[in-house]
Amino acid sequence: MNNNEYLKTAQEIIDRAREVGRAEKMKLGVAAAADRDVLAAVVEAKQEGIAEPILIGDAKKIHAICQELLLDISDIELLDISEEHRAAAKTAELAAKDEIQVVMKGFLQTSTLLKTILKAEYGLRMRDTLSHSALMSLPAYHKLLNITDGGMVLEPNLEQKISIVQNAALVANALGIEKPKIALHSSSDYVLPELKSSLDCAILTQMGLRGQLGNIFIDGPLTLDTILLKDAAEAAGFHSPVAGDADVMVVSSIDEGNIIAKSLVSFAGAVFSGVVVGAKVPVSLVSRTDSSLNKKSSIALAVILAQRIRRS
């Protein structure tokens, strides 16, 4: 896949994951799987050939949900483990043995799952910092936009932001973007000594220009309009490859990322695909209020990313 063929919508992510699933038969471990929307998305993902699920959780509750929703799981492997910490541990164990290649969070705390997966005994940590990528498929934007990190790191320091940039670049590579355009968000388009986020943006931009962050374009500080709107970028005098054409928007706090991402979903009609990056197995991570389409596209994104990790 070259830069002219990169994935631009959530539907293209799903279509690509079907191709991956047919070729490689990715196994999806669902930790604490007794969740209505998760089970519906997982069954649909199996039916479409995106992934082969393994349900890990309370069998009685899982069967009750499936009976209520008329979901057929007769041909899906089910491991009866009722306690969520044991379900998380079994998921991590399967991932460490390469018996699953993708993880999905069911009805348990995110922290319980991720802390378990990152225990040294499983050897699944790939980077020091895990981050959440929220890919937005927006009707008003010409390609996917990855907002990161609105789900994991509360207020990342400069070292953590370096990992977040590298994680985001890996996701972009999985979408077929060889040299992603990474925008560093701030409330000002200019470096202001009193605005810490703008100083971090300037440092990261200089590091990127010197090749310290890999094969990427990077620019910042940039405000939301100069990141997304070419006319606004040109009016402000910005002519970098990133301004007005970003693949990734790196934010400075979990609050900032969460507000922007949820606003785009709620008011701009965005389809959301969410994945946690930084471990050897991608973790499909969505909220309980996300639609079934968002959940399916998140599974699909994790499958595509798993293939990229395995090949690299």
Q: Which of 275, 274, 276, 280 is nearest to 119 (CA)?
A: 280
Q: Is the pLDDT of residue 280 over 80?
A: yes
Rounded-to-integer distance, Cα 237 and Cα 284, Å: 39
pLDDT band of 142, cuts 50, 70, 90: very high
* Average of per-residue pLDDT values in the chain: 93
pLDDT confidence of 105, banded at 50, 70, 90?
very high
Output the pLDDT for position 1: 46
Helix residue ranges, H only, 34-174: 36-47, 59-69, 84-96, 110-117, 158-174
pLDDT above 70 for 289: no
Q: Which two tokens stand for residue 145?
A: 């936009």
Decide: 243 and 226 in contact? Cβ < 8 Å.
yes
Q: With 90 as the cut, is the pLDDT of residue 100 above it?
A: yes
- Nearest 5°: phi and psi at 44? -65, -40
Kindly state the average pLDDT of the residues 81-101: 96
Is pLDDT of 285 > 60? yes
Give which of 276, 222, 271 is closest to 251, Cα–Cα: 222
Check whether 4 has a pLDDT greater than 70: no
What residues contact 120, with CB distance under 8 A and at least 6 apart?
Answer: none
Specify the pairing of strand 248-250 against strand 217-222.
unpaired
User: For position 31, what pLDDT does the model report?
Assistant: 97
Q: Give residue-wise pLDDT tens across range 195-211.
A: 999 999 999 999 999 99
Is 131 a residue whose pLDDT tops 70? yes
Query: What's the helix, strand, coil split of the chain in %, to 5?
Result: 45, 20, 35
Residue 3 has pLDDT above 90, yes or no: no
- Under DSSP, is residue 186 helix (H, G, I), strand (E, B) or coil? coil
Higher confidence at residue 312 or residue 121? 121
Class of domain 1-126+279-312: alpha beta
Residues 6+ apart with CB under 8 A from 37: 288, 290, 292, 295
Going by pLDDT thresholds of 50, 70 and 90, the confidence category of residue 311 is: confident
pTM, to two decimals: 0.93
Please tell me the least confidently modeled range out of 76-85, 104-113, 167-176: 104-113
Q: What is the CATH number of domain 134-273?
A: 3.40.718.10
- CB count within 10 Å of CB 19 equals 14
Would you say the C-alpha torsion 120, 122, 123, 128 has a positive or negative sign?
A: negative
The alpha carbon of 197 is separated from its chain's Cα centroid by a whole number of angstroms, namely 23
% of the chain beyond a pLDDT of 70:
97
Please report, for the chain, the start and end positions of each structural domain, with discontinuous segments joined by +.
1-126+279-312, 134-273
> Bridge partners of 277?
131
Pairing of strands 271-277, 283-284: antiparallel
Report the pLDDT value the prediction gives residue 2, as an integer from 0 to 100. 43
Q: In angstroms, rounded to a whole number, what is the distance separating the alpha carbons of residues 293 and 288?
A: 12
**pLDDT, tens only, 32-70:** 999 998 999 999 999 999 999 999 999 999 999 999 999
At 123, the amino acid letter reads: G
Q: Do domains 1-126+279-312 and 134-273 have the same CATH topology?
A: no
Q: What is the average pLDDT across 226-249?
A: 92
How large a percentage of the chain has pLDDT more than 90? 87
